[in-house]
Amino acid sequence: MPPSTALFWPPAMSEENAERGERIAKFLSRAGVASRRDAEVMIEAGRVRMNNAAVSHPAVFVKKGDMVLVDGKPVGEPERTRLFRYHKPEGLVTTHKDPEGRPTVFEKLPPGLPRLISVGRLDLTSEGLLLLTNDGALSRQLELPATGWLRRYRVRVHGGVSQDKIKRLADGLVVERVKYGPIEAAIDSVQRSNTWLSMSLREGKNREIRRVMEALELPVTRLIRVAYGPFQLGTLPRGAAEEVNGKILREQVPGLAK
């Protein structure tokens, strides 16, 4: 991995911090309950208790032996960090609960997996590689643009794609006052009125590819993520999940605890 894409994991807690413990939002994140931000929302909503007392703010520290409950259910000590590749089918939302009642990724996962959260998202009609982890801190770290990891997609659009539009993608676009960074694109094939493209980007704003292509009058009719950084979809069957080997994970995320 090039130096610019290296990730540096937070060092182990010092003896002083070990005595004080760690902030409860971070504890819940590492336990795979939710991201730190979502954990803070859960705390504000009164869903978290520690040692039979309500937790009212995220500055509370959890020490070894403390009993933490979320929605009345105990939260165990964080397990070793695990990462899974999942082949998301279209028609699923990447959230644990959907207010509209649509099926979610987490309802359709194969049985026997630990509680997981996603690294980034794929929208309802998008498909392909979705990384899942039991560690909220890892999820947050891998989502940051600063990692420099490339997200690669196969994209089908309706219409012909000119070299001028390819160049505009490479230069970056402003769509409805939102600035999108450079997107690498190349034409793979043309099938009647449709064009298949290979597209790569590093930032990954919400619905970025769909929005920039719509601005170029090239509506997306299919979007498949084939790689997220060094992790690839490969031949993973649709709806299947496969754990990333721990040794490979540690190689790709320097400093990750063993």
Q: Is residue 36 part of a domain?
A: yes
- Domain of residue 204, residue span: 150-228
CB 65 within 8 A of CB 71: no
Task: In whole angstroms, give the CA distance from residue 185 to residue 182.
Answer: 10
Residue 144 maps to a domain: no
Q: Identify whether 10 is part of a domain.
A: yes
User: Pairing state of beta strands 117-119 and 68-70?
Assistant: unpaired
In-domain check, residue 81: no
Catalytic residue among 38, 66, 98, 123: 123
Instruction: State the pLDDT at residue 182.
Output: 94
Domain-ending residue, one of 46, 74, 102: 74
- Give pLDDT, residue 27: 87
Q: Which residues contact 198 (CB under 8 A, 6 or more apart)?
A: 152, 153, 154, 155, 185, 186, 188
Report the CATH number that the domain containing residue 12 is assigned in CATH.
Answer: 3.10.290.10
Tell me if 239 is assigned to some domain.
no
User: What are the mean pLDDT values of the chain's consecutive 10-residue runs (258 residues total)?
Assistant: 39 49 86 82 93 90 90 83 96 91 94 90 96 88 84 96 95 92 96 95 89 96 97 97 93 72
Q: Given CA atoms 143, 145, 146, 148 in this order, what sign does their dihedral have?
A: positive
Q: Give yes or no: 123 in active site.
A: yes
Q: What is the pLDDT of residue 14?
A: 40
Tokens of 135: 């560690």
- The per-residue pLDDT for 152 is 97
Q: Domain for residue 115, yes or no?
A: no
Boundary (domain end) residue, out of 32, 58, 74: 74
Q: What was the pLDDT predicted at 255?
A: 67
> In a 3-state reduction of DSSP, which class is residue 115?
coil
Task: Give me the pLDDT at residue 144, please.
Answer: 82
In a domain, 216, yes or no: yes
How far apart CA 31 and CA 243 sit, in angstroms, is: 17
| CA 68 to the chain's CA centroid | 26
pLDDT at 4: 37
Cross-strand partners of 154:
198, 224
Q: What is the pLDDT of residue 12?
A: 42
CATH number for the domain harbouring residue 220: 3.30.70.1560
Q: Please check whether residue 163 lies inside any domain of the structure.
A: yes
Distance from CA of residue 231 to its chain's centroid? 12
pLDDT of residue 18: 52
Question: Tell me, what's the pLDDT at 3?
Answer: 37
Query: Considering the entire predicted model, what is its pTM?
Result: 0.75
pLDDT of residue 216: 96
Give residues with Cβ within 8 angstroms of 58, minimum separation 6: 23, 24, 25, 39, 40, 43
Alpha helices per DSSP H over the chain: 15-20, 24-30, 36-44, 136-143, 163-171, 208-215, 246-252
How many folded domains does the chain comprise?
Answer: 2
